[in-house]
Amino acid sequence: MKALRFLITAGPTREFIDPIRFISNRSSGKMGYALAEAARAVSPNVVLVSGPTALTPPKGVTLVNVVTAQEMADAVLTRFAESDVVIMAAAVCDFRPKMSAGSKIKKQTFGGALELVATIDILAELGKRKDSQLLVGFAAETDDLERNATKKLKSKGLDLIVANEASAFEAETNRVTLFDAAGQKEQLREMPKRDVAAAIVERVLKLRR
């Protein structure tokens, strides 16, 4: 098989309130970086688009650093057409402040309300643009894991979705369930994220075949 071209996202995004403060989430990036390492073991063509993390990227992986959801969208959308497998493991912020102040907001002048607007839905946009690419998404949920994950799988045109509890954020291990577009379900035991990543990449290779 020709070496697949992987595009993987990892980490959180940050949406700025002012130059000092921002909205973000608990994503450490560990799952996405583990996926990049697992992909690099089977292909020399791996691009990792990463939000802010404290992690060192795997050797041989092309790293693209981004901060905001829009920056991540730009980086992914410009590389999507030349990719074979896209794994969206990043925890992209769903909302951003409607207005970002140009200087630090003083406590005494803050009105007590922060108006939010939706960020770009990168995964949905990829689902619309998908041609021959295999598109993998993630669903981190606090309840109704299977229902929410399968709904996301269908609504966003994914080939595979990796579902896990939100408690996996910042952890060294993960317990995931894989759902594919053909209706197959595979529940993996709790494992180190490196092993989970290897299992996901193995599943991707099977789907590509």
- Tens digit of each residue's pLDDT, the chain (209 residues): 579 999 999 999 999 999 999 999 999 999 999 999 999 999 999 999 999 999 999 999 999 999 999 999 999 999 999 999 999 999 999 999 999 999 999 988 888 889 999 999 999 999 999 999 999 999 988 889 899 999 999 999 999 999 998 777 778 899 999 999 999 999 999 999 999 999 999 999 999 98
Q: Which CATH class is domain 5-100+112-208?
A: alpha beta
Could you list the active site residues?
A: 25
Q: Which residues contact 160 (CB under 8 A, 6 or more apart)?
A: 134, 135, 136, 137, 153, 178, 179, 180, 181, 203, 204, 207
Q: Could you tell me the pTM of the whole model?
A: 0.94
Tell me the backbone φ, ψ of residue 91, rounded to 5 degrees.
-100, 85
Q: Which helix (H) or strand (E) holds 5?
A: strand 5-10
Delimit the domains of the chain by residue range. 5-100+112-208
